[in-house]
Amino acid sequence: MKKVTGIGGIFFKCQDPDAMKNWYSQNLGFQTDQYGAMFTFRHNDNPDKKGYTQWSPFSKDTKYFAPSEKEFMINYRVENIEALVEELKANGVTILDEIESFEYGKFVHILDMENNKIELWEPVDEVFTKMQAEKDA
């Protein structure tokens, strides 16, 4: 069974998320929106299929990374999140919440051995492909 298949997102705390998005847009060419920026890639095993990685600055006061006290959170793309969560539970990994399903994928949060909060995401890339096509039209 594949576990992590790639990076789904990089999330970090900052003083002013809007100013940070503007800085990255102006200086590094990020195409930002209300959530940050999305990067597109092609799957190695299926080059016709697009995948996405999210980059998002969060307010320094966000509670989204709790219980971790770190300034960042990494989102990993996974396959078969239900089976993975069962395996993680069997290995004694702290599972912070129940798997949540949305149009764009399933999510669950865990803690690593140093209490870094990790977001696991089983994506539905086709939703983002459709959104991108609508944006470009």
CATH number at residue 79: 3.10.180.10
pTM (2 d.p.): 0.88
Omega before 67 cis (within 30°)?
Answer: yes
Tokens representing 82 are 């239900």
Phi/psi-derived region of residue 19, left when phi > 0, alpha when psi is between -120 and 50, beta in every other case: alpha
Q: What is the extent of the structural domain holding 125?
A: 4-136
Taking residues 112-123, report their average pLDDT: 96
Taking residues 42-48, report their average pLDDT: 86
Separation of alpha carbons 109 and 102, rounded Å: 15
Instruction: Determine the pLDDT at residue 53.
Output: 95
Residue 43 clears pLDDT 90, i.e. is over it: no
> Based on the structure, what is the number of domains in the chain?
1
Which pLDDT tens digit goes with each residue over 16-33? 999 999 999 999 999 999
Residue 48 clears pLDDT 70, i.e. is over it: yes
